[in-house]
Chain A
Amino acid sequence: MRLFRFELRKLFLRAPVFIALAVFTVLDLAKIRAVADDASLLRTDEVWARVYREQYGNYSGEITLDRINTLLDLYKPLEWITNDITATTRSDVEGTLTGNYYSDRNLLERYFVSPMRRFYNCCGDAETVVRLARENETLYTRLGCGYEARMNAAVARIYSGRAVVEFRYTEGYRLLLTYDFSAVLALLILLYALCQTFARDRECRMDELMLATPGGGAASVLAKLAAATVFTLAVPLWFSAVDYLGFGLVLNLSEANGLPAYAEGTMAASSVGMTLLGFYTVSALTRALGFWALGMVFLLISEAGRHALLPFAAGAAAFILCTAAGVRWGYSSEALFKAVNPYCVIINRLLFGRTEFINVLGVPVLTWQAALVMSVLLGLTAAALALLLGGRNNIRKGVLA
């Protein structure tokens, strides 16, 4: 335990790491602001923001037929006059919300009608999915296709009982869930800190000296691995927390915390049914796990470096290759390539956002489940190799010295 604390302090709790964290946190917040300004019209258009605030109260909360009808009464006439583009384009029309027919229509469509439609349809769509899946299950069972039958049974299980009963503002979550910049920041800090784990000892010849101590060899490597584990989990989680707070500050996230994850448009075909806040937490933990697995690989590379430059470059190259593979296969139908790629675990909406299965000996396994197992395996393998190589390396050197 003392060794662990010592390694943690020596490797990670250092001024440059903290300064980098602080600077990157500020960068992250600035980027979040820029993204929100770029994507949300409620932040750039004051009139829209005012009208949205006024109208939101009328529709937020439980979705009732009354509310839907009120909304359609407001929207339908607008749609009707703007459809043939003959309505006036004046921006001071009496009786409109924003002063312009088209602007009114766009605002209502974007922030009320289309989310309301999506929420309302969610239940019926899910029921259709369940019905189709049950039908398919019966058919495949009859045809003797066991795996397909089990897969459809799983889909029916996942989608049964889905419904969105409340109307809430979800734009903030949409931007939060598709925001990836902080992953690059976390990656750079991890690369910087991890690539010197072993190189530092070597630079000051501490590795040879340590062999003469009771805590040297395998014990010190183990302590390093434990310290690195804490650090690689902490940094991505820190950035996930900053992302949440950042988007929470510029856009309202708390409104939609309790909605189910599939209420958000990009998550409509998601395989998870928890709340948005719960899902974000799971997603952040998964991202941290992905970084941990990559981190253990970085450590393994770091063990071989004469100094910290090679591990840094090799780690960066490994991540770039994972990203390139992610671009190639992240959206493809080859679900297996997603599950084995740490990039997809880090950018995990590719896994959670779809309901895709991998055939493991005839058992349908969801991609995110497979990916979690693969990440743990990858991390443990790398850590075990690091322990094995690190211990042996030191002993051999000890004998020579």
Chain B
Amino acid sequence: MTLLRFEIRKLLRTNRGAVVTALFLAAELLLCVLTDFPANPDAELYREQYLHYLEQVDGAWTREKADFLEHEAARGADGLYAEGLDVIYEQYRYVNEEKEDRFFLDANGWASLLRDRALDLTLAAAIILLSVPVYCGEAASGMESLALTSRNGRRLFLLQKTALTLAAAAALSLSTDLIRLVFCAAKYGLPHPDYPMQSVEAFGGAEKVLTLAGAEALAAALRLLGSLELAAVTLCLSAYCRRFALAAFLASAAAVLPWIGLGQETQYALPLPSSLMMPVGFLRGSEYAADAASGETVAVFREATAAQTAAVALGAALVTAVCILLLRRRYGGYIAAGRGALPKTAALGLALCFLLGGCGDAAPPEEDVIYNSRDNAAYEYGGLTVTSENGRPVVRDGDGNVTALPLDPLAPVDGAVYIEHFFARGRYVYFRREFSESVGWSLADDSGKTYVASLLRVDLDTFKTEVVFETVTQHTVFGIDIGGGTPDPLGRSDFIVDDEYIYVPGTGGRRVEISTGRMSPLDIPTNRNVAYDGRSIFYVDRSGILTRFDTESDETCAVSSEPVSDFRLTESGIVTEP
């Protein structure tokens, strides 16, 4: 017992296992919070309205539910729940394709929980860091030969060290699952674990029959097995290499290279630690993409069958067992000569400071703003007229000279696409630019693509251009599919910009915070003119009443008592048309 306590102490303190574990937990939690995004952002944004409908159709497909939704959609939204209806109708269309095994469900929690498409490098690193010093440390300090000559040395030496390390790896793996489970349950909720896995869109094409809870349990079990395999392989390497650097190098190569180097299908057919540590790949259905050349649909990923999954799991168990046998062989007979003990050195803290933050935004001048989305055709400022021509904002001066905005000479070659809608305010014109780059070539899928969507601001006095807000979605790094990120929140419609926010009115309206990119719903249900006076947004609501939304107090109030058909904001006030 004393010996076991001593081994635990060695693992946690001497080998800095406690520090590694603490760092690992902190990193996992941080990654959860920082990198998580809802699979269906609109379901989050219009949560209340969406749940209003979901309550009525939750569960399996039935004729009545289908009729109800068709009826609602045909009737048109009654206003209050318009965005929620869009979300549920999308889901209805998805469920309709496979009525048997797709249920109506608030799936964001499960989709987030069962997402991991990239290798969890933190987990792999933590396991390697815990496992490498176990035998390398003994070899380096010469303790190895000493321990092996003692009474309890041989059998216990191997047994306790190996068992402890494997237990630690298992604990790390399970805690990852636990952290994510708790996080997703808290952020989105994990309703109805008994619904079929196919209710989540990512698994729509899967053939396996599993409930959501079953899928998560299977994923956790596979991840556990992968972690154990990686730990066993690393232990084996550390026992045979005896050198920290070599063991860490080989273990990292074994963990990372198959993931980067091998195709997805190959990965999920081999008992690799990396594939088992990305267990969602075993659950996913086959995926198809259009071939860019022939236009034919080709499979980019073939589903791993249940038998294949079982074979891979068995293979991994076998690899683990072989590694343990090799360890036994290593410490069963031959006793190696030790090397000199290590001198103590103070550890150096490496601080890598990264400047975090969004795009900067300078304060525009305080002045009266008159903006009517109707007027998107022309904006006058200081003898200049801003209009849209050929899908791009342009400036026309008094002499009739036309200059395309922004004054970027590279426009003919850099492949940027400009969107004609612009918002003007004082001396600033805001408009949008999109840019995409594709590295992959044979398939017309998203992997290998990068999208950049920017909101630009041009100062009409100096024609200087600034980027106010930008989203970058990159799908691959080093050829690895990292699954992309949040889509561009602005879309291609009209928008209004103030110092802090971008307002996108209309159906699916939203307000985007410029500094953080955070979205909140914006209820400006209109497809007619939207006006802005520098503080309030004016629009005609569903019942035809001219309404004012105060952007500072977030209050909405009626301006007209009678319905109006249209209106304009002018310098002298609002002109309405009955």
Residues of B within 8 A of A301 (CB): 348, 350
Knowing A155-B409, A199-B244, A309-B136, the reply to whether A38 touches B346 (Cβ < 8 A) is: no
For residues 341 through 364 of chain B, which have their beta carbon under 8 Å from a beta carbon of chain A? 342-348, 350, 352, 354-355, 359
In this complex, what residue of B is CB-closest to A354?
B414
Residues of B within 8 A of A318 (CB): 350, 352
A240 to chain B, nearest CB (A): 15
- Complex: A148 Cα to B458 Cα, angstroms: 13
- Complex: A332 Cα to B256 Cα, angstroms: 27
For residues 384 through 417 of chain B, which have their beta carbon under 8 Å from a beta carbon of chain A? 403, 407-415
Residues of B within 8 A of A128 (CB): 412
Any B CB within 8 A of the CB of A305 = yes
In this complex, what residue of B is CB-closest to A307?
B244
Any A CB within 8 A of the CB of B248 = yes
In this complex, what residue of B is CB-closest to A133?
B409
Residues of A within 8 A of B415 (CB): 268-269
Residues of B within 8 A of A130 (CB): 409
Residues of A within 8 A of B252 (CB): 188, 191, 312, 316
Q: Are A203 and B339 in contact (CB-based, < 8 A)? A: yes
- Complex: A320 Cα to B27 Cα, angstroms: 13
Residues of A within 8 A of B454 (CB): 333
Q: Are B441 and A309 in contact (CB-based, < 8 A)? A: no
Of B339, B350, B415, most A-chain CB atoms within 10 Å = B350
In this complex, what residue of B is CB-closest to A313?
B129
Q: Are A313 and B339 in contact (CB-based, < 8 A)? A: no
B156 to chain A, nearest CB (A): 25
Q: Are B478 and A312 in contact (CB-based, < 8 A)? A: no
Total A-B pairs, Cβ < 8 A? 209
Any B CB within 8 A of the CB of A126 = yes
Any A CB within 8 A of the CB of B125 = yes
- Complex: A203 Cα to B136 Cα, angstroms: 12
- Complex: A337 Cα to B357 Cα, angstroms: 12
- Complex: A256 Cα to B291 Cα, angstroms: 26
Residues of B within 8 A of A306 (CB): 342-345, 347
- Complex: A377 Cα to B346 Cα, angstroms: 27
Q: Are A191 and B249 in contact (CB-based, < 8 A)? A: yes
Residues of A within 8 A of B136 (CB): 307, 309
| Interface window among A73-81, A139-147, A283-291, A361-369 | A139-147
In this complex, what residue of B is CB-closest to A174?
B441
For residues 409 through 445 of chain B, which have their beta carbon under 8 Å from a beta carbon of chain A? 409-415, 435, 437, 439-442
Knowing A132-B409, A310-B347, the reply to whether A333 touches B470 (Cβ < 8 A) is: yes
User: How many residues of A are in contact with the other chain, CB < 8 A?
Assistant: 92
Any A CB within 8 A of the CB of B143 = no
- Complex: A9 Cα to B411 Cα, angstroms: 53
For residues 24 through 52 of chain B, which have their beta carbon under 8 Å from a beta carbon of chain A? none
A308 touches which one: B125, B243, B452 (CB < 8 A)? Answer: B243
Residues of B within 8 A of A262 (CB): 413
Q: Chain B contact residues (Cβ within 8 angstroms of A): what range?
A: 35 or more
B463 touches which one: A107, A148, A175, A193 (CB < 8 A)? Answer: A148
Residues of A within 8 A of B440 (CB): 39
- Complex: A169 Cα to B256 Cα, angstroms: 34
A39 to chain B, nearest CB (A): 5
B360 to chain A, nearest CB (A): 9
Knowing A129-B409, A204-B339, A333-B467, the reply to whether A183 touches B478 (Cβ < 8 A) is: yes
Q: Are B437 and A41 in contact (CB-based, < 8 A)? A: no
Any A CB within 8 A of the CB of B487 = no
Q: Are A202 and B342 in contact (CB-based, < 8 A)? A: yes
- Complex: A133 Cα to B408 Cα, angstroms: 8
Q: Are A331 and B245 in contact (CB-based, < 8 A)? A: no
In this complex, what residue of B is CB-closest to A321?
B352
A327 touches which one: B140, B257, B414, B474 (CB < 8 A)? Answer: B474
- Binary interface encoding of chain A residues 26-47 relative to chain B, with 1 for a CB under 8 A from any of its CBs, else 0: 0100110011001111000000
B129 touches which one: A106, A309, A326 (CB < 8 A)? Answer: A309
Q: Are B340 and A204 in contact (CB-based, < 8 A)? A: yes
Q: Are A202 and B345 in contact (CB-based, < 8 A)? A: yes
Q: Are B410 and A110 in contact (CB-based, < 8 A)? A: no
Given contacts A132-B407, A269-B413, could you give 14 more A-B pairs where the C-beta distance is less than 8 Å? A31-B261, A103-B294, A140-B463, A145-B464, A196-B244, A203-B342, A204-B340, A208-B343, A268-B413, A269-B410, A304-B348, A307-B342, A314-B350, A318-B350
- A–B complex contacts, Cβ < 8 Å, 20 sampled: A106-B294, A129-B409, A132-B407, A132-B408, A181-B478, A188-B253, A188-B256, A191-B249, A192-B248, A195-B245, A196-B245, A202-B342, A203-B140, A308-B248, A312-B244, A313-B248, A331-B437, A331-B450, A332-B470, A337-B355
The 3 closest A-B pairs by CB, nearest first: A304-B348, A192-B249, A308-B245
